[in-house]
Amino acid sequence: MSEKKKIYKPKPVSGFPEWLPEYRAVEQRWLDKIRGVFESYGYCSIETPAIEELEVIAAKGEDVDKEIYVLERLQADPDEKKDARLALHFDQTVPLARYVAQHFADLTFPFKRYQMQKVWRGERPQMGRMREFYQCDIDVINVDSLPLHFDAEVAAICYEALEALDIGRVQLRISNRKILMGFLESLNVPDKKTNGETTVKLSDETKAEIIRDIDKLEKIGKKVLLSRLEQTLLVVGELGVNFQTFIEPFLNLAETKIKPGENILELFQNNSEIDSSNEMLREGIEELQFVLDQLAHLPEHAVVADLSIVRGLDYYTGTVYETQLLDVPEFVGSVCSGGRYDDLAGSYINKHLPGVGISIGFTRLFDVLRQAGKIQPGQKSPADVLVVLPSEERRAEAAQTARTLRERGLKVELYHAPQKVGKQISYAEKKGIPYVWFPPFEDGNAHEVKNMATGEQTEATPNDWTMND
RNA sequence: GCGACUGUAGCUCAGCUGGUAGAGCCCUCGGUUGUGAUCCGAGUUGUCGCGGGUUCGAGUCCCGUCAGUCGCCCCA
């Protein structure tokens, strides 16, 4: 007879966050604010399915492949293999490309859209890194060519959206991939095979390795970075000793944060060790300068050019962005990143569709600030008023009071049982409901309302009371 | 995927060199009649992550496993 109820103890699944009501309330408010800023620039909303065909999602590059969640039925029918495999989307940029290609005929270009949905990545979770999270994307896609102004516009919009959240100072860091690509292309480094007698161009593989490492410049520093390059590349390599001395001048530039108004080309030309005549390099500098100067209206700290920003995703071809929270130094990751991609939809449609966009890593942003204690939790209930239930006999009257208040635009909860008044009040207190309404407990008595913050209680009528009374 | 650390009540944790589990918070009730956040009193709560081993005996030691945290890779 003493058999115990079997309980399955719930455990949170790491990397799949969920919040208590008081934080969810803040999260909703933030999403509304971001949406408001996006729409104020005329960007429209779309939503794409949580899943895409694996073929579509995996189009990005090998590194992300291993992080893709695929979807299958528990009882997968072996004969069903002919069906396309499905996968949860990894980001919203690739689904956008597919969407644009698919609805090409019905869209108006330049197509400006925002999209706020969850995405999934199978990574090891840690501070600021989840396996399920919201991204707030804003992108512009056009046919044939896309004016460079948009590279500045999407950045400015995102900055404004972040500013609207009142989260302290944020800094956009912008670069242009063409600069680093052009620089690496221009190099003639000593050939190992000839013991440095002749020179050789960097292979794509080597370039990729260097790019990956330069991304870490701020984190690990120039010295460590150079010795790392030496270690990884000399071994692999076609490169002769001291090849790092060819990279170093660039790192010196990449270490500085360039403000709007500064002349980037001059910085290169003043550095005699860098050959700034490379065409791609020049183009990148010009573009970066343009975008940077277009953002000069933003506050002092808000935007810098930072040549160490290159971004991991392969599809970016020009402008790239990252964003730091300057007032949360314990977190160094980017909370808002993106870039320009010249032809992401090219594999779905026979049109040239360049785009540029940025994505706010919403859940990361929210959770990092929450953990840093910078988010004031909201109310546990959206209600403005709790109507006390005096007795079962007076339920109809109390319900009518609540209805009247609701009709006047207030959010009103009616207490569920005629319990002791003290209990009803403490319920309101716990849920953070700011006002408690007392309908008459006896015929002929007046309504009263209590302000929970001040403890003050006054007579009132449901038809004309307002929260400021 | 690799490395380090952790895993005891709903939550935060204590439990010394092995002897059959404890504190605070939370929650419930009470301190008479219609008033919360303080105070006082009483009460409920545990496969000690899971499986195996050593032992007369394991929350405590050993092995395995799973999960979590942090770091690396990568990224929002």
A52 token code pair = 């895409």
Backbone Cα Rg of chain A:
29
Residue A440 CA, nucleotide B37 C1', distance (Å): 25
CA of A16 to C1' of B15 (A): 33
> Peptide bond preceding A110: is omega within 30 degrees of 0, i.e. cis?
yes
CATH 3.40.50.720 fits A385-460, yes or no: no
DSSP for residue A79? G
Q: Which is it for the CA torsion A361, A363, A365, A368, positive or negative?
A: negative
Whether the predicted pLDDT of A2 surpasses 60: no
Q: Name the percent of chain A lying above pLDDT 90.
A: 60
Residue A71 — φ and ψ, nearest 5°? -120, 130
Is the pLDDT confidence value at A382 over 50?
yes
Nucleotide in closest CA–C1' contact with A216: B74
Q: Helix, strand, or coil here: A261?
A: coil
Which 3-state string (H, E, C) describes A348-362? CCCCCCCEEEEEEEH
Q: How far apart are CA A44 and CA A36, in angstroms?
A: 11
Domain ranges for chain A, please list them. Answer: 15-72+83-166+327-378, 169-304, 385-460
Amino acid at A159: Y
Question: Of all protein residues, which has its CA closest to the C1' atom of B2?
Answer: A124
Q: pLDDT tens across A278-308, in order?
A: 999 999 999 999 999 999 999 989 999 999 9
pLDDT of res. A4: 46
Distance B6 C1' – A14 CA (angstroms): 15
A171 DSSP β-pair partners: A324
Beta-carbon contacts of residue A19 (< 8 Å; ≥ 6 apart)? A27
Q: How far is the CA of A384 from the C1' of B32 (A)?
A: 32
How far is A414 from A399, CA to CA, in rounded Å? 7
Question: Which residues neighbour A438 within 8 Å (Cβ) at sequence distance 6 or greater?
Answer: A388, A390, A421, A447, A448, A449, A450, A457
Strand partners, A360: A136, A336
Q: Determine the 3-state secondary structure of A442 from DSSP.
A: coil
**CA angle centred on A464, ends A458 and A468, rounded to 5°:** 60
**In terms of C-beta density within 10 A (0-12 exposed, 13-18 middle, 19 or more buried), how is residue A361 classed?**
buried
ipTM surpassing 0.95: no
Contact A250, A274 (CB under 8 A): yes
Bridge partners (DSSP) of residue A361 are: A135
Distance CA A460, CA A440 (A): 11
Which nucleotide does the CA of A451 lie closest to, via C1'?
B36
Q: Is A195 left (phi over 0), alpha (psi -120 to 50) or beta?
A: left
3-state secondary structure of A245: helix
Q: Which fold has domain A15-72+83-166+327-378?
A: BirA Bifunctional Protein; domain 2 (3.30.930)
Q: How confident is the model at residue A228 (pLDDT cuts 50, 70, 90)?
A: confident
Of A69-83, A192-206, A208-222, A303-317, the one with minimum mean pLDDT is A69-83
Do the strands A303-305 and A111-120 form a parallel or antiparallel pair, or are they unpaired?
A: unpaired
Q: Which of A34-43, A63-72, A117-126 has the highest mean pLDDT?
A: A34-43
Is the predicted pLDDT of residue A362 greater than 90, yes or no?
Answer: yes
d(CA A88, CA A53): 9
Share of chain A above pLDDT 70, in %: 92
Instruction: Please state, in angstroms and rounded to a whole number, the distance separating the CA atoms of residues A345 and A67.
Output: 22
Q: Which two tokens stand for residue A274?
A: 């860098």
Q: Cα–chain-centroid distance for residue A233?
A: 34
Q: What is the pLDDT at residue A425?
A: 94
Q: Which of A30-44, A209-223, A272-286, A337-351 has the lowest mean pLDDT?
A: A209-223
State the Cα–Cα distance between residues A234 and A240, nearest whole angstrom: 7
Whole-prediction pTM value? Answer: 0.91
- Residue A131 confidence (pLDDT): 92
Q: Round and report the angstrom distance from CA (A422) to C1' (B11).
A: 26
Chain B bases closer than 7 A to any CB of the protein: 1-3, 10, 27, 29, 34-37, 47, 67-76
Token output for A346: 């090219």
- For residues A136 and A365, is the Cβ–Cβ distance under 8 A? no
Per residue in A385-435, pLDDT tens? 999 999 999 999 999 999 999 999 999 999 999 999 999 999 999 999 999
Residue A119 token pair: 């995405």
Nucleotide closest to A220 measured between CA and C1': B72
Residue A218 has pLDDT above 60, yes or no: yes
How much helix, strand and coil, in percent to the nearest 5, is found in chain A? 40, 20, 45
Q: How many angstroms separate the CA atoms of A5 and A461, rounded?
A: 50
Tell me the CA–C1' distance in angstroms for A299 and B15.
56
Which residues make beta-bridge pairs with A190?
A: A199
**Closest by CA position to A90, among listed A124, A131, A125, A45:** A131
- Greatest pairwise CA separation for chain A in angstroms: 106
